[in-house]
Chain A
Amino acid sequence: MAKKKSSPKRSSKLRVGIDLGTSRSAISASNGKRKFVESYVGWPKDFISEKVLGKSVLFGQEALDNRLSLELCRPLEHGVIKEGTSRDEEAVNQLISHLIELAEIQEGQEIYSVVGVPAESLRANKLAIKRAVEDYVDSLMVVSEPFAAAYGRGVLNNAIVIDIGAGTVDFCIMHGSMPTDDDQRTLVTAGDYIDEHLYAMLKEKYPESDFNLNMVRKFKEEHSYIGKTKGKIEVEIPVGGKIMVHDITEEMGRACESILPAVLEHTMELIARFDPEYQGLVRQNIILAGGGSQIKGLDKAIEASLKEDGLCKVSVVDDPIFASADGALALAKDMPDDYWQNMLDE
């Protein structure tokens, strides 16, 4: 049976969930729009560039593709706005504006937003987030990324969420109430750290080959793994102008593994913070989110390491790019109207 075609219903309120990330930023809106963009903003270097590009500002992949003609900015270091540089604040402002536009908001709609930011940075960066977002929304709440991911998944009790992004790995323990600062941890050895590590190893192994960090990042996104991999990982890299196949299997594995010890250490520490009676439950409820959760074998590697101290189960969110944005949207939707109204009255 065909679905009933509903007539477009004009709502005066739009709820949006935004995930501000170092590498990618995403928006999920209550009108059904879900979009993401690489967290790059670029401005044409001169009027010639602007004429060629036909735009005054470019975002995401388009900005990356035209980076030679642009002043390129990746403003969200460690998942939060770099402080002190007006250029970066302007870039984040533009990025937010772009995300809001991608959500196709109708003129006149009131926008209620929940923004996810890295856990430990939540407090110190609220002001910067507010400055960047306040121009475009009517009301704003800021929560930690892993909390948003947990909320979206409906797992709010006896669980640990590990959100592995480009700039940070965020840990958050969920015990049936709003996580406090003590319930959250942030590591800076995340995706970017893997990229740098891999880049250094490949430079050492293939000193004559011509590649950059951006290429290495793409290699990682396509081939990352921990543990065993099927066959060799071979990528094409130019050497003296000629495209050559390079074996990066071992380096890829070692680079990805480099973040594991710290992740395990913090996971164990957070498990130990639970009431001993519930630690067994928590061990069965470890959730990986963020782009880094897509490293093949990461969940199994964590399980294998933690199993020494008892059974555990690690699961990966289905859609890491949108997990936090969707969770933030769920929060925005569930937030009672009187709470929003209360804010508007102030």
Chain B
Amino acid sequence: MFKQANKRQILKDVHDENLWLVGKRKSRRSVASLKSSKDNSSQRKWVQLSPIFVAMGGAFVAVVVTLWFEFSAQKLNDSMIDVQHSAQDYSTGAQSPLVYTAGFNDLNDAALLAPVLPHERPVIENFKPVSLPNASSPSLPGLFVDEGVFEDLEAFELRQATVTPENYHALAGAGIPLAQLFGLNVKTIVIDPGHGGKDPGAVGASVYEKDIALDVAKRLRDRLLEYEGYRVLMTREVDETMALNDRVNFANANSADLFISIHVNYFPGDQKSFIETYYFGPTDDSKIAELAARENNNSHYPYAEFKEIILKIGDTLKSQESKQLAYAVQRNLHKQMHKIDKGTRDHGIKAAPFVVLLGLDAPGILAEVSCLCNRDEEQRLKTSEHRESIASFLEKGIVTYLNKNTRVGGKRNGEKEKLAKAQQ
């Protein structure tokens, strides 16, 4: 049994944690009466969202807020043109962000929405409650949300948008998802073939990890380029030595939105194939630490810089996104590889301190797509068909992730059937 003192403290903690939930208790009504009456508008308090992203085009200003939930927005003054949001895909149940856009004709009105912090994610301290503006004081332009939304602030995501007065109505009214319109989706995918040049990576009986990784990466790039609206880049396209920090710098310099590092596993003494996918994080597993040390061998990061980068681990959203991406890739990859070789084991997704994932601004994963310690698998890797298959499995995993988190652009003409096949 736990100590009474602890119990009392725990109850207090639960109570303190939950204060916000009960501050607006409704008057007691019966369940039956509530079923017939759902109007709770009188219960709402409103708070101003600040900062929110403002994109300016001439005298026209669009305010863009991306949320993972719906909220009520209202037109605050005459200069506010409209408040619109993108449609949720109810048919598939896919979760995608709702992009709320408010257009203003008057720059001065919109300028009150300070401070503007593009590229930065607001945290709870950036939001301050204000009272609901009434009709006689329309001097607070902006978007206002129910105060309960405070609890969901981590879901906020702000991105830069380019809007002009000329295209705003045309584009917004054309039924184009605003997430796409404002470039809120993943746009740049960087594929990183592991090792290269003097660094062969894992060495099988007759193949090198660096060659397999490069070939699969190229095939994956070609497949992803078939989707509209994506820029797919590779850290290396030939057999060349490339330091890990150069790969990271390449991804960051190109404003990568996703980073996929492709590797092939090898564990001495283990004859079975296994698939595993890593995202960045600390580990206590000595085997993973050993693997990370091997993969980090060519990092060229000075110790001080490495330490500084470690501090970036606090970026939880990136970590969560990376984990989701790792999960989607691992699941699809293992499922398909298992069909080819029933002995292929699923080692799951794991957190590991790979340097190549550490300094990234974008979510990233390191996928060990195959295993050179298995002789049969090594033989299969020599065939272009198998490497093409692996690329398609990776493609499917990435598409699954993108479908869950953003809207994937359609494939170009003639490729939609291929996409459908990949998603099966």
Contacts and interface: CB of A to CB of B under 8 A. Distances in A.
Interface of A: 77, 82-87, 97, 100-101, 105, 107, 110, 114, 123-124, 126-128, 130-131, 134-136, 138-143, 151, 154-157, 176-178, 188-189, 200, 204, 258, 261-262, 265, 268-269, 272, 331, 334-336, 339, 342-344, 346
A101 B31 contact: yes
Contacts of A151: 10
A157 B70 contact: no
Given A156-B6, A157-B6, A176-B6, A141 B14 contact: yes
Interface in B1-58: 1-3, 6-7, 9-15, 17-23, 25-26, 28, 30-31, 34-35, 38
Given A100-B31, A140-B18, A346-B25, A130 B148 contact: yes
B139 to A, nearest CB: 29
7 contacts: A82-B93, A83-B68, A84-B88, A105-B31, A331-B14, A339-B12, A339-B15
Contacts of B70: 84, 86
A100 B32 CA distance: 11
A274 B278 CA distance: 24
Contacts of B9: 177-178
B154 interface: yes
Given A123-B151, A177-B9, A142 B18 contact: yes
Given A140-B21, A142-B21, A127 B69 contact: yes
Interface string B76-114: 000000000000101001011010000000000000000
Interface stretch (B179-187, B203-211, B347-355, B369-377): B347-355
Interface of B: 1-3, 6-7, 9-15, 17-23, 25-26, 28, 30-31, 34-35, 38, 68-70, 88, 90, 93, 95-96, 98, 148-149, 151-152, 154-155, 284-285, 327, 335, 339, 346-350
A25 B21 CA distance: 21
B90 A87 contact: yes
Contact of A127 (B2, B25, B151, B284): B151
B92 to A, nearest CB: 11
A72 to B, nearest CB: 12
A135 B38 contact: yes
Contacts of A178: 9-10, 13-14, 17
A54 B95 CA distance: 33
Contact of B21 (A130, A334, A335): A130
Closest 9 CB pairs of A and B: A178-B13, A343-B22, A156-B2, A141-B18, A339-B15, A135-B34, A176-B6, A84-B88, A126-B151
A77 B92 CA distance: 13
B38 A85 contact: no
Given A124-B154, A143-B14, 4 more contacts: A84-B69, A85-B90, A176-B6, A346-B25
Contact of B2 (A123, A157, A262): A157
A342 B20 CA distance: 12
Given A82-B95, A268-B284, A138 B15 contact: no
B316 to A, nearest CB: 9
Contacts of A154: 1-2
Contacts of A139: 22, 25
Contacts of B339: 204
Given A136-B34, A141-B18, A156-B7, A265 B348 contact: yes
A130 B150 CA distance: 13
B149 A127 contact: yes
Contact of A135 (B26, B90, B95, B284): B26
Contact of B348 (A127, A155, A262, A336): A262
A342 B19 CA distance: 9
A138 B28 contact: yes
A128 B69 contact: yes
A126 B153 CA distance: 11
B11 A336 contact: yes
A4 B349 CA distance: 58
A177 B34 contact: no
B16 to A, nearest CB: 9
B64 to A, nearest CB: 17
A154 B7 CA distance: 9
Contacts of B348: 189, 261-262, 265
Contact of A343 (B6, B25, B31, B90): B25
A107 B68 CA distance: 37
